[in-house]
Amino acid sequence: MDMKPLRPVPLLLTAAVSAAAWLAWLGWDQHRDVHPDGSETGPYEAWQVVGLVLTLLVPVCWAASRRHVMAAASGTATGLTVAAFADWSDDASGLYVIGVGTVAVGGFAGAFAVSALVASLTGRGRRGDGGR
């Protein structure tokens, strides 16, 4: 797989879109749901997280189709990490750091896997010159 070096525009674009998508899908929901048995869930519902992931496919696939695999993965992870930190940093227990770290690692791994797959499937830039 032929990748381009890390460029600022795709990196910043995927980071900005990722942070904005977090705010749109998850940023407004801050309250846990208390069930009749006293158990709590949330604050996010599964449909919100699925919506976020599906939304992130657009900028990741855009960057990856242009061979910016590392920018897609790094930008997505950066945007999600910054948004998660801003959203969760008021947690008094301090455990939000573990969650933010998980978002960073998972965001990078997921975006890298998708972008590597898209880049290899699109084959953009290959013109019979041996993949150079």
**pLDDT tens figures, 61-107:** 999 999 999 999 999 999 999 999 999 988 888 899 999 999 999 99
Phi-psi region of 14 (alpha: psi -120 to 50; beta: other; left: phi over 0): alpha
Range of the domain at 52: 10-122
Give the predicted TM-score (pTM) of the model. 0.84
Asked if omega into 5 is within 30° of 0 (cis), the reply is no
Number of domains in the chain: 1
Least confident of 21-30, 43-52, 55-64, 117-126: 117-126
Q: How confident is the model at residue 39 (pLDDT cuts 50, 70, 90)?
A: confident
Q: Within a domain: residue 107?
A: yes
Q: Within a domain: residue 71?
A: yes
Give me the sign of the Cα torsion angle 83, 21, 12, 72: positive
User: What pLDDT sits at residue 5?
Assistant: 67
